[in-house]
Structure 1
Amino acid sequence: MANRQVRTTHNEVNGIYGRRRIKAELAAMGHACARHRVARLMREAGLRVRSRKRCRRLSSSRHALPIA
Structure 2
Amino acid sequence: MSVVSYQVILNKWSTHVAKDVYERNMGYLQEDGIITDRLLGYAYADSSLGHDRYGETVEIFLNGDALEILLE
TM-score, L = length of structure 2:
0.34
Q: Hey, which of these two has a bigger chunk of helix by percent?
A: 2
TM-score, L = length of structure 1:
0.35
Point out the structure with max Rg over C-alpha.
Answer: 1
